[in-house]
Amino acid sequence: MAYKIISSQCTACSACEPECPNVAIYEKDGTFVINPKKCTECIGYFDDAQCVAVCPVDNTCVIDTSYPRYQAA
Amino acid sequence: MLGQNQTEPLEEMMQQIAEYKGCGTSSEGGKASCGSSSAPEDMAPEVWEKVKNHPCYSEEAHHHYARMHVAVAPACNIQCNYCNRKYDCANESRPGVVSEKLTPEQASKKVLAVASTIPQMTVLGIAGPGDPLANPEKTFKTFELISKSAPDIKLCLSTNGLALPDHVETIKAFNVDHVTITINMVDPEVGQYIYPWIFWKHKRVTGIEAARILTERQMLGLEMLTAAGILCKVNSVMIPGINDRHLVEVNRAVKSRGAFLHNIMPLISAPEHGTVFGLNGQRGPTAQELKALQDDCEGEMNMMRHCRQCRADAVGLLGEDRSAEFTTEKIMEMDVQYDIEKRRAYQEIVEQDRQEKVAARNAELLELEKEYSDVKILVAVATKGSGRINEHFGHASEFQIYEVGTEGTKFVGHRRVDLYCQGGYGEEDALPTVIRAINDCAAVFVAKIGGCPKDELRAAGIDPVEKYAHEFIEQSAVRYFKEYLGKIRSGEIVHVDRGDADIRQGAYIAA
């Protein structure tokens, strides 16, 4: 699995972008999006998913269940 | 005390300096101050040099000089219960709200465009809409570009303080000589009710622990600024029942660490803002509650009372907002010629006007020196700036409030009276709104006023005064007060306590 950003709730504040250890977050059409291929759910880097911890709108960075759970190498 | 038969040249010069620097909101006994009552000897020459043209640091300067904010810093590292940056009504004015975010390059272009159009724009601030120091690259890149292209413009920034200790050196390196920290508490027990969380060392920290870290970082940051010789203003949001009495303690804590100015602001709270406080019905203070707290803190340090709690993209004098003239689309089309000499020439004229104003008030005060009375009144003033009574009653979007007594005049605040954004407030409701906002005033000074509102004001016990149209505010206030005292003596009027007034809470229509 990976995290995804619910774009209708994203305020485009950009707080998540520099916090992502995988550089998986970028701006697209006025909101921010997560590249699921790069997202590791912060496993191996931090105890908490950084985008979730810094996002000012609760329940905006959420697990995208359409991707399999990330497995640390 | 100066101004009382002191004729020594040095004393006289100190007085001129103190007045000139523009801090003199209070003319009590000829004392200079920054919206306050600190003696001029408290103010080193290099300090007044820094504040004299800064509308946010000097009450007197704010009648003449303009500022602008550029919204290059959208990210934030803490959450406050009074803030919600998602909501952007273009007609709304409050911190944390912007219409469009800018890149540092766009911001730099915008600053040049505004500085060329508004030559009295002397200050560029970065105040969000998030926290400038949570966006350090964008913030400092903007400062770098502007310090190259417009070296005469003062740079300042406003922060929650969490990241401040990490950046004091860089702030110093960019010659940023004004930093504002928002400090709402020095006790984590209080702070837990204001800050739900902070983002700290890659974790979301909540509760008392979050407030403890934040207050430690704020105090450390303030001490470092003071040590670096950077002027620091402290902003505090007054939240009745949560931190209102505690702010006296905050005042002592920041003063002892070298803060220059304390700005206690009323909580802006309405359900439509979508903030925690807006939704849970937390009220803001009344005008007199705010004034009483500011008065209590004033003995301790300089108080700012002219803050308009502006947007993070505001442009113009503090009481106006010209940001709509400078959208990215419009500035990209502008052919900007930055002429530093033209700006300087314009500012010299402003300076002459300022000195004239101070001289007029002081001359008027001389006669009052012989009198003593404990009567004090508040007067509301309709003004477009320059320290003159030059606005029509019906066109005023705010009234400036002055306290007058035998000791002199003092600017004690302003009341916004613009119409509400939400429906239900038609023309017929506008006047009661105005009366509620200036209900604690004995008179309202205007350039002109219609017959109808005049009668209604009189019925409410507020004297509408047109005879000082286009004259200086403070000189007129002293004149009016002399007459007022005369009328009390002759028994024509009886001095009564005017009670309290409302602080406007809703969004407003700028047009």
Q: In this prediction, what percent of chain B has a pLDDT beyond 70?
A: 84
Residues of A whose CB is below 8 A from B86: 11, 56-57
Provide the pLDDT for residue B395.
86
- Beta-carbon contacts of residue B73 (< 8 Å; ≥ 6 apart): B126, B127, B128, B129, B130, B131, B132, B134, B135, B138, B139, B312
> In this model, does residue B7 exceed pLDDT 60?
no
> In this model, does residue B311 exceed pLDDT 80?
no
pTM: 0.80
Identify whether A56 is part of a domain.
yes
Work out the pLDDT band at B30, boundaries 50, 70, 90: very low
Per mean pLDDT, which of B14-23, B127-136, B491-500 is the most reliable?
B127-136
How far does A52 lie from chain B, in Å, by closest CA? 9
CA pseudo-torsion sign A12, A13, A18, A22: negative
Select the residue from A19, A22, A54, A58 to test the B interface by mutation, using most B Cβ atoms within 10 A: A54
Provide the pLDDT for residue B510.
35
Nearest-angstrom CA–CA distance, B469 and B450: 14
How far does A28 lie from chain B, in Å, by closest CA? 15
| CATH class of the domain defined by B342-490 | alpha beta
Mean pLDDT for B462-482 is: 93
Interval B183-199: pLDDT, tens: 999 999 999 999 999 99
Mean pLDDT for B344-348 is: 86
For residues B259 and B301, the answer to whether their CB atoms sit within 8 Å is: yes
Return the CATH number at A29: 3.30.70.20
* DSSP state, residue B73: B
**For strand B154-159 and strand B178-182, is the pairing parallel, antiparallel, or unpaired?**
parallel
Provide the pLDDT for residue B39.
32
Interval B349-383: pLDDT, tens: 888 888 888 888 888 888 777 778 888 999 999 99
Q: Name residue, tokens 């969004």.
A: B507
Identify whether A73 is part of a domain.
no
Which range is least confidently modeled, B98-107, B422-431, B483-492?
A: B422-431
Contact of A13 with chain B, judged by CB distance below 8 Å, is answered with yes
Q: In this prediction, what percent of chain A has a pLDDT beyond 70?
A: 95
Average pLDDT, chain B: 82
- Interface touch B135/A14, C-beta < 8 Å: yes
Residues of A whose CB is below 8 A from B85: 11, 13, 56
Among the four given CATH numbers 3.30.420.40, 3.20.20.190, 1.10.10.10, 3.20.20.70, the one describing domain B59-236+309-325: 3.20.20.70
Residues of B whose CB is below 8 A from A51: none
Number of independent structural domains in chain A: 1
Identify whether A32 is part of a domain.
yes
Interval A7-30: pLDDT, tens: 988 988 999 999 999 999 999 988
Provide the pLDDT for residue B41.
47
Pinpoint the residues of chain B covered by CATH 3.30.420.130.
342-490
Identify whether A16 is part of a domain.
yes
Which range is least confidently modeled, B187-191, B409-413, B467-471?
A: B409-413
Across the A/B interface, how many CB contacts are shorter than 8 Å?
45
How far does A68 lie from chain B, in Å, by closest CA? 25
**Is the pLDDT higher at B94 or at B107?**
B107
**Is the pLDDT higher at B336 or at B80?**
B80
- Domain around A55: 2-64
> In this model, does residue A1 exceed pLDDT 60?
yes
**For strand A25-28 and strand A31-34, is the pairing parallel, antiparallel, or unpaired?**
antiparallel
Nearest-angstrom CA–CA distance, B212 and B215: 5
Provide the pLDDT for residue B5.
41
**Is the pLDDT higher at B481 or at B273?**
B481
Of the candidates B85, B101, B203, the beta carbon closest to that of A56 is on B85
Provide the pLDDT for residue B446.
94
Identify whether A69 is part of a domain.
no
Contact of A58 with chain B, judged by CB distance below 8 Å, is answered with no
Contact of A12 with chain B, judged by CB distance below 8 Å, is answered with yes
Q: What are the strands of the beta sheet with B303-304, ordered from one edge?
A: B303-304, B261-266, B231-238, B178-182, B154-159, B121-126, B66-69, B315-316
Quote the distance between the C-alpha of residue B9 and its chain's center: 33
Identify whether A70 is part of a domain.
no
Which range is least confidently modeled, B46-50, B84-88, B98-102, B396-400?
A: B84-88
Which DSSP string corresponds to B432-463? Answer: HHHHHHTTT-SEEE-SB--HHHHHHHHHTT-E
> Both tokens of residue B458?
């009189």
How far does A13 lie from chain B, in Å, by closest CA? 5
- Interface touch A19/B203, C-beta < 8 Å: no
Nearest-angstrom CA–CA distance, B380 and B401: 5
- Beta-carbon contacts of residue B493 (< 8 Å; ≥ 6 apart): B484, B487
**Is the pLDDT higher at A72 or at A55?**
A55
Residues of A whose CB is below 8 A from B79: 56
Identify whether A59 is part of a domain.
yes
How far does B218 lie from chain A, in Å, by closest CA? 20
Work out the pLDDT band at B13, boundaries 50, 70, 90: very low
Interval B220-238: pLDDT, tens: 999 999 999 999 999 999 9
> In this model, does residue B49 exceed pLDDT 60?
yes
Q: Name residue, tokens 């209708």.
A: A8
